[in-house]
Structure 1
Amino acid sequence: MGDRWSVEVDRSVCIGSGMCVNHAPGGFRLDSARQSRPVDPETDANEQVLAAAEGCPVEAITVALAGSGEVVFPPEE
């Protein structure tokens, strides 16, 4: 069984660019305020969700290992 990720969007940072929806259409959606939301806050680890987080122009998406909370993205500085 593969890793499970917890996915969060910081709505105070999200600018509604829609890049996350382009990278992972099954993983994110924009609401009526054009703010991103994960379709499912816990998901199987996958490259599309990681690409969405990496492609967010304001780094509003955090991906962590479900259970432990260890951050996968963004990397710690």
Structure 2
Amino acid sequence: MKKIYFSRHAKNRMRKFAIKPDVVRKVLEKPDFLEPSIKGRKNFWRKVQDKYYRVTCLEEGDKIVVITVTPKEKIPGRVRDED
């Protein structure tokens, strides 16, 4: 996997929502699904325990820059899977 760098904004969001870097790595390594975002960015989605996480990042050569991290209760526009 490419080297992961966190933007200042992403670090602040992770601190605010108590999201550990390991959770972000899990989302990036094995997302449930991907969707395109603005400016060539990608949104990686994955359910970890009871929450969904959206990690928005930009691939720059041999590195991945995490722009933002957002915890979600459900995925917008999708049917929530019941466990």
Same fold (TM > 0.5):
no
With the length of structure 1 as denominator, give the TM-score of the two structures: 0.28
**Structure showing greater Rg:** 2
Higher relative contact order (CA 8 A, sep 6+): 1
Which structure's residues are more often strand, by fraction? Answer: 2
With the length of structure 2 as denominator, give the TM-score of the two structures: 0.27
